[in-house]
Structure 1
């Protein structure tokens, strides 16, 4: 006998559940992220859910599930096994000036590290990393994810 699966809540029901201080299940969070990525949720519903989350907070499990579902909602990159121990992460919480990325990433790469970076464009008055890099004559900012690593989507 198969275990009975809980009925899927609608987006308004999910919003009410969190607004009322109840914990969102893994399935609730997955449904919310899927609605976001499919475009089936209204902007006002997204705002209402985010407000409910901000006001009521999330417990560690909800936070971990939301983070995982967000990560798996798009393209997930994987790296060759021979890169194990060489991968480093350089990311930023933002700010003005791009004072570290443009110097640190090439220095780490020169030392043999693999530094995958996702950078922004058109950020405030200073521009993003991509804006700065593409201002260098001959610098190619257009690279494919194919070749150096494999790409894949999470099986659903």
Structure 2
């Protein structure tokens, strides 16, 4: 009996650590919550999930004192004429993604996607065409884009 008690006492810190780790991991219900935890989480964040800024290949680290930060995706993920960046806010998962595709030197198609953490939805919030720093939306966008 004493042998089993000693084994249990010896293993209990490891079991508690494993249960704590599983509790955190199971509380992350979707990929966006995992991303938030990877950047803003506590001590266990680096053991559970890889940092999002590492995943997207951004060389910029998350700065603890900033309210929000924008991180570009690496050229290995998107490159050439495409540019993708994510803007993350401290303490919330309400982030937005900016995608830009250059048609030529002065013309680009720009899309903005947002993630609403309270509703748990990811949606496109804006689409516009920029030609020589002039933006076009709606039917004007389609008319201008027809030339390309």
Q: Same fold (TM over 0.5)?
A: no
- Larger relative contact order (C-alpha < 8 A, sep ≥ 6)? 1
Comparing both structures, which one devotes a greater share of its residues to strand? 2
TM-score by length of 1: 0.24
TM-score by length of 2: 0.25
